[in-house]
Amino acid sequence: GIMGMMPGGGMVANGMQSVMQSLSGASFMVEDVMRHVAVISQSVVALLYAINLVRTELNSRFGGASASASSPPDSSSFFSQLPDELCKHIFSFLDGESLADARLVCRTWNEFACEETHWKRLCLANWRSLETDPHLWPLIDPDVSLSHPNRWRKLYPSVISKEQWRCRLQKTGRFICQLVAHHISGVPVGDYGLPYTLVVERRFNTLHLQTFVLPDQASFLYFEPETDADKEGYEEFIEYLTKRTRAGLALEDQRRFIFIPPCEYAKNTLKYDGPSLLGVVQNAYPPLAP
């Protein structure tokens, strides 16, 4: 697990598997094992060196006067000797800002940095549901088409500009799931963000959302399960609300947190026709009709 997460983790894991296979044989030589370990170590060191070389080059170009004072290695010469696929793999370890800077270095680096798989990885690291919920995309950036060949790269700036919070969703006395809440529109949530625990204490008919929600005072959210383990509780909660045509309500002092399942209000007012849970945060609200 740890090796798979580190740069070159796949190569390390494969190399270690080879070592273990050597160890499991009826006979082996210590020299063979040490040779395997040396190959693995050299692969990791080479990959880390290449990643650092890219970052040093970017820092020398875009990091300011103090950064440019040092003389970086000749990265162009180094990368010209590597296969393109390996270069793209090295670039996959960069963050979004570094990839954007790399695009300005030269035509070749621009090609490596524009690889869609890099930007897809960065987007999904921030917002997992983007891979499974096409109705979410217009909420984040309506100008990015799902059919665009560079849709992930185009969407990324909007993805990272949205605030997000992690919280624990409960009914009274019962845990439901861990959530990630993303701000999609409306007023800012404020310095307090979301409380860590949201307890759904009340429910009301979704028909009342039209008068209950005050658009000029509301923050609109998109909720997704934090991990795969939270998906079952998340979907059961949505099903519970949908079958009863109810929205959920959690309270904290003067703030109200409304959980909106798929319904006419979500579709017609919030322009979302997907399967996920939306939310509203607001302070003031009119009383519900009797």
For residue 200, is pLDDT > 90?
A: yes
User: What is the reported pLDDT for 181?
Assistant: 97
- Confidence bin at 84 (pLDDT 50/70/90): confident
For residue 201, is pLDDT > 60?
A: yes
Least confident of 103-112, 202-211, 253-262: 103-112
What average pLDDT does the segment 192-208 reach?
Answer: 94
Separation between Cα atoms, residue 189 and residue 256, nearest integer Å: 12
- pLDDT > 70: percent of the chain: 69
The larger pLDDT score, comparing residue 285 to residue 175, is at 175
What average pLDDT does the segment 196-206 reach?
Answer: 95
Measured N-to-C along each axis, helices 116-126 and 151-161 cross at an angle, to the nearest 10 degrees, of 30
For residue 245, is pLDDT > 90?
A: yes
Q: Which residues pair with 224 in a beta bridge?
A: 180
- Confidence bin at 119 (pLDDT 50/70/90): very high
CB 226 within 8 A of CB 166: yes
pLDDT tens profile 33-67:
444 434 434 444 455 555 665 666 666 666 654 44
User: What is the reported pLDDT for 49?
Assistant: 54
pLDDT tens profile 146-165:
999 999 999 999 999 999 99
Separation between Cα atoms, residue 58 and residue 241, nearest integer Å: 50
User: What is the reported pLDDT for 191?
Assistant: 80
Separation between Cα atoms, residue 101 and residue 239, nearest integer Å: 45
For residue 103, is pLDDT > 70?
A: yes
User: Which of 91, 108, 106 is closest to 153 using CA atoms?
Assistant: 91
Between the CA of residue 44 and those of 38, 54, 55, 91, 145, what are the distances in Å?
Answer: 10, 16, 17, 15, 38
Count H helices, E strands: the chain? 14, 7
pTM, entire model: 0.73
Token pair listed for 173: 């006395």
The larger pLDDT score, comparing residue 128 to residue 283, is at 128
Place of tokens 């990368």: 79
User: What is the reported pLDDT for 33?
Assistant: 41
Q: Which residues pair with 165 in a beta bridge?
A: 181
What average pLDDT does the segment 109-129 reach?
Answer: 90
pLDDT tens profile 169-185:
999 889 999 999 999 99
Burial (CB count within 10 angstroms: exposed 0-12, middle 13-18, buried 19+), residue 287 = exposed
The larger pLDDT score, comparing residue 187 to residue 91, is at 187
What average pLDDT does the segment 24-36 reach?
Answer: 47
For residue 243, is pLDDT > 80?
A: yes
User: What is the reported pLDDT for 107?
Assistant: 83
Report CA torsion sign: 48, 5, 113, 67: negative
**Which amino acid is present at 210?**
Q
- Strands 174-186, 164-171: parallel, antiparallel or unpaired by DSSP? antiparallel
